[in-house]
């Protein structure tokens, strides 16, 4: 069975600082995709970044980067230069079979202060 | 980019009534759509997989007679909460992936906040 674990219920960071949100996963399938989503208090799910299990390089999207350590089965999200607007809940998710649903972790609430 | 529209965004209904939530893919075809449920400050839990032209596949513990899913076209799936009770109050959110792009991210609707009084 597949599982996503996010062990940080809440994280606090000051503006302009970098923050790492942890995510570990468990699957026996060699082919999988890892996703990070942001959910502001309004509820919409905003896709941030994707990492495929066979990708050689860590994914980056603007201020977001994914620290993919396959042997450790971790896929941590790094947000550089935090902004007040980054305050939200962040979910790590995984998909093993193309076209199927995502399995989500419990989420981490990020609070950015000025 | 791919857009998923969900309606209504908020609904308040009385106990015992039914509520229909629509999920539309606006600029792509979706053979499969997914319905999730989320309680406050918790994760998204998959309720069911909605397949165009066939019956939905429900996750264990989800009552198929209570949460009716219809996927009548490649762009529309509906979730009907029948005989709603206060414990059905939750945030319901649909998602879809463009047909043929199974590895692309799921695109989510903005969710429906259901309150049953």
Distance CA B82, CA B114 (A): 12
Band (pLDDT 50/70/90 cuts) for residue B101 is confident
Partner residue facing A99 (CB), from B41, B97, B108: B97
Residue B104 has pLDDT above 70, yes or no: yes
- Which residue in this structure is represented by tokens 């539309």? B24
* Secondary structure string (H, E, C) spanning chain A: CCEEECCCCEEEEECCCCEEECCEEECCCCCCEEEEEEECCCCCCEEEEEEECCCCCCCEECCEEEEEECCCCEEEEEECCCCHHHCEEEEEEEECCCCCCCEECCCEEEEEEC
Q: What is the pLDDT of residue B1?
A: 66
Neighbouring CB atoms inside 10 A of B15's CB total 12
Band (pLDDT 50/70/90 cuts) for residue B106 is confident
Residue B103 has pLDDT above 80, yes or no: no
CA distance A71 to chain B (A): 22
Express each pLDDT in A11-46 by its tens digit. Answer: 999 999 999 999 999 999 999 999 999 999 999 999
Residue B89 has pLDDT above 80, yes or no: yes
Using a 10 angstrom Cβ sphere, with 0-12 exposed, 13-18 middle and 19 or more buried, the burial of residue A95 is: buried
Residue B88 has pLDDT above 70, yes or no: yes
Express each pLDDT in A53-80 by its tens digit. Answer: 999 999 999 999 999 999 999 999 999 9
Q: What is the pLDDT of residue A100?
A: 87
Residues 29-88 of B with CB under 8 A from A: 31-32, 34, 41-44, 46, 49
Q: Which residue of A has its CA nearest to B98?
A: A99
Neighbouring CB atoms inside 10 A of B92's CB total 23
Task: Write the DSSP string, B44-74.
Answer: EEEEEEEETTS--EEPTT--TTTEEEEEEET
Q: What is the pLDDT of residue A16?
A: 97
Mean pLDDT of B60-79: 94
CA distance B39 to chain A (A): 11
Query: Which residues, 6 or more positions from A55, have their beta carbon under 8 angstroms from its beta carbon?
Result: A68
Compare A99 and A83 and report the one with higher pLDDT. A83
Mean pLDDT of chain B: 93
């Amino acid at each position: 069975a597949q599982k996503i674990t996010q062990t940080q219920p809440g994280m606090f960071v000051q503006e302009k600082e970098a923050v790492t949100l942890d995510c570990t996963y468990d699957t026996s399938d060699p082919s999988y995709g890892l996703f990070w989503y942001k959910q502001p208090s309004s509820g919409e799910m905003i896709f941030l970044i994707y990492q495929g299990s066979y990708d050689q390089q860590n994914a980056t999207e603007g201020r977001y980067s994914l620290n993919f350590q396959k042997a450790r089965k971790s896929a941590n999200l790094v947000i550089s230069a935090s902004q007040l607007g980054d305050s939200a809940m962040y979910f790590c998710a995984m998909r093993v079979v193309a076209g199927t649903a995502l399995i989500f972790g419990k989420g981490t609430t990020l609070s950015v202060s000025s | 980019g791919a857009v998923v529209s969900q309606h209504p965004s908020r609904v308040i209904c009385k106990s015992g009534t039914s509520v229909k939530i629509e999920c539309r893919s606006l600029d792509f075809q979706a053979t499969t759509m997914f319905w999730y449920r989320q309680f406050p400050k918790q994760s998204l839990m998959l309720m069911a997989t909605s397949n165009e032209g066939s019956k939905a596949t429900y996750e264990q513990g989800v009552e198929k007679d209570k949460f009716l899913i219809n996927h009548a076209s490649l762009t529309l799936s509906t979730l009907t909460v029948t005989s709603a009770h206060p414990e059905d109050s939750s945030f319901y959110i649909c998602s879809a992936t463009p047909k043929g792009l199974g590895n692309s991210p799921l695109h989510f609707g903005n969710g429906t906040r259901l309150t049953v009084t």
